[in-house]
């Protein structure tokens, strides 16, 4: 999983790295999923809160095919119910999903 503390400036400082775009896509997608799951759970990762309505239960791997190449994602799992990010809907192009 991408560390939540990674800064986008670190990715940009890598310069002309061929995987820069894929890394940025992965970073943004992971953060979008993390924020989405935090909203569903009622609290952030590893945060004790009386408002919590659900808990996380690990991750599952998913390969996301984009024009920039294949991006490895870790989709959060929930203890109760399920979570699947909207931008990974079947038959939906990556560019339309991120817009």
- What is the value of pTM for the model shown? 0.70
Domain membership of residue 83 as a residue range: 8-98
Tell me if 87 is assigned to some domain. Answer: yes
Tell me if 73 is assigned to some domain. Answer: yes
Q: What angle do CA 52, 36, 4 make, to 5 degrees?
A: 95
Instruction: State how many domains the chain has.
Output: 1
Cα distances (angstroms) measured from residue 78 to each of 27, 29, 43, 51 = 21, 18, 13, 16
CA-wise closest residue to 85 among 28, 46, 21? 28
Per-residue model confidence as pLDDT tens digits over 23-54 = 889 999 999 999 998 888 877 777 787 887 88
Q: Which residue has the tokens 């775009």?
A: 21
Per-residue model confidence as pLDDT tens digits over 51-96 = 878 888 889 999 988 877 889 999 998 888 888 888 887 655 555 6
Tell me if 1 is assigned to some domain. Answer: no
Tell me if 49 is assigned to some domain. Answer: yes
Tell me if 3 is assigned to some domain. Answer: no
């Amino acid at each position: 999983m991408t560390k939540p503390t990674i800064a986008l400036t670190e990715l940009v400082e890598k310069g002309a790295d061929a995987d820069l775009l894929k890394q940025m896509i992965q970073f943004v997608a992971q953060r979008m999923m993390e924020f989405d799951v935090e909203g569903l759970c009622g609290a952030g990762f590893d945060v004790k809160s009386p408002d919590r309505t659900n808990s996380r239960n690990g991750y599952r791997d998913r390969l996301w095919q984009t024009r920039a190449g294949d991006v490895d994602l870790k989709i959060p799992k929930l203890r109760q119910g399920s979570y699947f990010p909207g931008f990974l809907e079947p038959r939906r192009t990556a560019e339309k999903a991120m817009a």
